Structure 1
Amino acid sequence: MKIHFLGAAGTVTGSKFLIETDELRILVDCGMFQGLKELRELNREPLSVLPNSIDFVLLTHGHLDHCGWLPKLVSEGFSGKIFCSHPTKEIANLILLDSAKIQEEEAELANKNNYSKHNPAIPLYTTDDAKNVLPLFRVVEPNLEVKLSDNCWFKLFYAGHILGACSIELHVEDKVLIFSGDIGQDDDVLMFPPIKPKKADFIFLESTYGDRIHPQEDVLSELETIINDAVAKNGNVIIPSFAVERVQTMMYLIWQLRKQNKIPDIKYIIDTPMGISVLNVFRDNLKWHKLPINECEEMCDVFTLISDYEDTIAAIYDNQPKVVIAASGMVTGGRVLSYLERYITEPENTVILVGFQAEGTRGRRLLEGEKEIKFYGKFYPVEAKIFSIEGLSAHGDQNDLLNWMSELENSPQKIFLIHGESTALEGLKSKISERYNYDCQIPILNQVIEL
């Protein structure tokens, strides 16, 4: 049995792990690379194996860096089944269509304004490519054993993180492989705590926050202070947010503050059509999260929900103070760019970063204090205040990741640390060795390891 590390090895994004046996090829996740230019360019490179030689895809969850390359995989020949949870199917469909639409629009804009080095600029994939993925999805209930062959079966188990996210327990050639996917915080606002694995021969463990402990900050109090300070200066608050789970978490927190009259009665805007669509997925999948339907409806009543771009323009040029939650979370695309293009040059405005910011993204550059930022081929001075609320990450921190392995009944042969930057990978490796004395390895991109 061989494992091909086709993504998220030595970096955070582009999750793709191919399990190759004598009879099967199984791809766990099929994500897009994001962030650094040299990583994004990998999205246009062919896989090292032919897509039509892959039998199945097992999907941990619906974030772009875990499912966003599926349209390319399908357009290049994959025609097998894609197994995932019900919410993941719904969310992945939304995310893929949104991703395709953004790419088409950006290619059109780049061609119109002649700021791409490609002539013409073309999207990585089209809306039609994204639509071709949907018929291949097969929904699997958690903890249900699904047989792929006489010698291979898998089951999904709850991972927290976002709606529908699961870890994968894969039994193949008498070995148990555990793929963590992304693991949520034990005390997440909306998600239940992740389920811990009981047995594993090999673990493929995400390491996004492997070297960090989330601050034990009072998130509500911090959010209250930031919003009130901005409004007192007649400014606006822009919150770039991942449309899945992060938008809903921010809605929940703002709703809590409004209920207690701790923040003013101004406009609170959700401007992400996909984030609004995800609210429907929340309503339809109540067993996957903590929020009862009546609270979900009460929360939504606090917000102005914007879908039409004409309403986006009207909101941008409305001079009244407001709080806007808009995608994308790492400021890589989406409608948040239109708000920031207008507001980032004004010192009375505030930007709140509320999730992981990958290397090479605008969000990471803002986080690190860059004084000038580029939108649509033009540079803008960063005069707005930039805040980060780390405790709001959908990823578990170092303690959560270590605790996730605390109920193992055996010592795994190997822990492969994936989905992290180098300092996070090394930091987690050291802590796992210290606490459990497990053998850890940090694979590199495109490495093939025989088990």
Structure 2
Amino acid sequence: MKVKFIGGAGTVTGSKTLLETDGFRILVDCGLFQGLKPLRELNWEPLPILPSAIDYVLLTHGHLDHCGWLPRLIAQGFTGKIYCTGPTKSIAKLVLIDSAKIQEEEASRANQKQYSKHANAEPLYTLEQAQAVIPFFEDIEPNTVVPIANDITAVFENAGHIIGACSIRLTLEGKTLVFSGDIGRDDDVLMFAPTKPVFADYLFLESTYGDRLHPDVDVKEELETLINAAIKQKGTVIIPGFAVERAQSVMLLLWQLKKEGRIPDVSYILDTPMGANALHVFLENLKWHKLSASDCHEMSKMFSIVSEFKETMRIIEDPQPKVVIAASGMATGGRVLSYFEHYISNEKTTVIFVGYQAEGTRGRKLLEGADEIKIYGNYYNVKAKIFQIEGLSAHGDQKDLINWLSALKNIPKCIYLVHGESIPADELRIRIQDEYHFKCNVPLMGNEIEI
């Protein structure tokens, strides 16, 4: 059996792990690279294997960095099945269509304003190509043995993180391989704690927050303080939010604060069409999260939910103080950039990041104190106040990741640390070896191992 790391190694984006076994080829996740330009350029490169030679894709969850390359895979010849949970299928559909629309819009804008280095800027994939992915999905029940091929079986188990997210336990050639996907937090405000593996010969574990602990802070109190300070100055609060899970978590906390009379009566806006659609997925899949149906309905009533871009422009031009949740969470694209164009140079503006900011993203640059940022070919001075609330991350921290391994009843032959930048991954390697004496390895992109 061969395992090749063709994405999500040494970086937190582009997750793709290729297994070759007993005449079959299985791809675990098929994500988009984001952030640094050398990583983004990899999205245009061919895989080290023909997509037509891949038999199955196993999808851990519906975030773009885990499913966002599927349209390219199918456009280049993949004809197999994509296995995932029902909510992951629903979320992936929203994410891929939203991604395609953004890419088409940005290519069109680049051509109109002539800021692309290419004679004719093209989207990575079109809306039509994104929609072509949907018939390939085979949704499965969690905690159920799924026959893949011959003696290959898979079990999908709750990973927390976002709705539908799972770790995948693969049994093949008499061995058990566990792929963590992204592991959620044990104390998440919205999602249930992840299920711990009890046996694994080889384990492939994400390491996004492998070198840090989430601060022990009162997240609601932080939100309350920042919002009240901004509104007191008659400023606008912009919260770049991942449309799935993070947007709903922030909505939940703001709704609770408003009910408790702790934040002012101003306009609260959800400006991410995908985030609005994700609310329906939460309503249809109540067993996957902590919200009741009535909570979902009541929470939604507090927000003006925007779908049309002309409404976005009306809100932007309204000088009244307001709180806006807009995608994308790392400010790599989407509606939040339109708000930044108008508000980032205003010292009364407050920007609150509520999730991980990958290398090379605008979010990371703003958190690192950038004086200016580039949006659609133009530079804007940064005068807004920039904050991060780490306590809202949907990723488990080092303690959560170490704890996720605590139910193992055997000693794995090796744990491979993926989906993390080099320093966090290596810090987690050291901690796991100190805590459990398990053998750990941090693979590089393109590495191949034999099992």
| TM-score range for the pair, normalised by the shorter chain length | over 0.9
What is the distance in 2 between the residues matched to 1:149 and 1:370?
51
Q: Deviations over 1:358-380 (max 9, x none)?
A: 00000000011111011110100
Instruction: Determine the C-alpha separation between the residues in 1 that align with 2:307 and 2:352.
Output: 22
1:235 Cα shift? 0.1
**2:395 — aligned with what?**
395
Q: Could you tell me how far apart the structure 1 residues matched to 2:170 and 2:2 are?
A: 14
Match of 1:361 in 2: 361
Paired position in structure 1 for 2:99? 99
Task: Map Cα deviations across residues 326-380 of structure 1 (whole Å, 9 max, x no partner).
Answer: 0000000000000011001011110000000000000000011111011110100
Which residue of the partner structure matches residue 8 of structure 1? Answer: 8
Q: Which amino acid aligns with 2:158?
A: Y
Encode CA deviations 1:395-428: one digit per residue, 9 max, x unaligned: 0000000000000010000000000011100110
Alignment-derived partner of residue 132 in structure 2: 132
2:235 matches 1:231: no
TM-score by length of 1: 1.00
Partner of 1:305: 305
Specify the SS of the correspondent of 1:6: strand
Letter aligned with residue 288 of structure 1: W
Distance, in Å, in 1 between the alignment partners of 2:306 and 2:90 is 20
How far, CA to CA, are the matches of 2:218 and 2:147 in structure 1? 46
* Alpha-carbon distance in 2 for matches of 1:10, 1:205: 13
Residue 448 of structure 1: how far off its partner (Å): 1.0
Count of residues paired in the alignment:
451
Distance 2:137 2:223 in 1: 39
> Following the alignment from structure 1 to structure 2, what is the Cα–Cα distance between the partners of residues 218 and 159?
24
TM-score scaled to structure 2, two decimals?
1.00
1:446 Cα deviation from its structure 2 partner: 1.1
Residue 22 of structure 1 and its aligned partner are, at CA, apart by 2.7
Pairwise CA distance, 1:443: 0.6
Partner of residue 261, structure 2: 261
Give secondary structure in 2 for the equivalent of 1:295: helix
Map of 1:59 onto structure 2: 59
The alignment status of 1:202 with 2:202, answered yes or no, reads yes
C-alpha offsets along residues 183-213 of structure 1, whole Å, 9 cap, x if unaligned? 0000000000000001000000000000000
| Alignment of 1:346 onto 2:346 | yes
**In the alignment, is residue 436 of structure 1 matched against residue 436 of structure 2?**
yes
Partner of 1:168: 168
Matches within 5 A, 1:376-395: 376-395=376-395
Cα-to-partner distance string for 1:200-248 (whole Å, 9 max, x where unaligned): 0000000000000000011000100000000000000000000000000
Distance 2:22 2:448 in 1: 15
Aligned to 1:412: 412
CA deviation profile, 1:44-66 (whole Å, cap 9, x unmatched)? 00000010000000000000000
Q: Which runs of 5+ in 1 are unaligned?
A: none
Q: Please tell me the residue identity of whatever aligns with 1:403.
A: N
* Residue 21 of structure 1, CA deviation: 1.0
Shift of 1:150: 2.3
Residue type of the partner of 1:372?
A: E
SS at match of 1:220: helix
State how far apart, in whole Å, the 2-side matches of 1:150 and 1:310 are. Answer: 53
Q: 1:20 and 1:413 mapped to 2: Cα distance?
A: 19
Q: Deviations over 1:252-280 (max 9, x none)?
A: 00001000010000000000000000000
1:49 equivalent to 2:25? Answer: no
Divergent runs of 4+, >2 A: none
Aligned to 2:287: 287
Distance in 2, matches of 1:359 and 1:336, equals 18
How many Å separate the matches in 1 of 2:150 and 2:306?
50
Q: What corresponds to 2:82 in structure 1?
A: 82
Consecutive unaligned residues in structure 2, runs of 5 or more:
none
Separation in structure 2 between the aligned mates of residue 301 and residue 132 of structure 1, nearest angstrom: 34
Secondary structure (helix, strand or coil) at the match of 1:329 reads: coil
Cα distance in 2 for partners of 1:66, 1:150 equals 26
Counterpart Cα distance in 2 of 1:189 and 1:118: 45
Equivalent-residue separation in structure 1 for 2:4 and 2:78 (angstroms): 17
Report the AA paired with residue 232 of structure 1: K
Equivalents in 2 of 1:127, 1:309: separation in Å? Answer: 18
Partner of 1:159: 159
Letter in 1 for 2:81: K
RMSD: 0.5
- Determine the structure 1 residue equivalent to 2:272: 272
Distance 1:23 1:48 in 2: 17
Identity %: 61
Structure 1 residue 447 displacement after superposition: 1.1
Q: Distance in 1 between matches of 2:238 and 2:357?
A: 16
The superposition leaves residues 287-321 of structure 1 with CA deviations (integer Å, 9 ceiling, x where unpaired) of: 00000001111111111111011110000011110
Q: In the aligned structure 1, how far is the partner of 2:251 from the partner of 2:149?
A: 44
Deviation of residue 140 (structure 1)? 0.5
Q: Distance in 2 between matches of 1:338 and 1:150?
A: 51
Q: CA deviation at 1:113?
A: 0.7
For 1:293 and 1:60, how far apart are their aligned partners in 2? 25
Counterpart of 2:216 in structure 1 is 216
Query: Aligned letter for 1:168?
Result: I
* Amino acid of the structure 2 residue aligned with 1:341: E
Alignment-mate amino acid for residue 407 of structure 1: A
In structure 1, the residue matched to 2:34 is: 34
- Equivalents in 2 of 1:145, 1:326: separation in Å? 38
Match of 2:22 in 1: 22
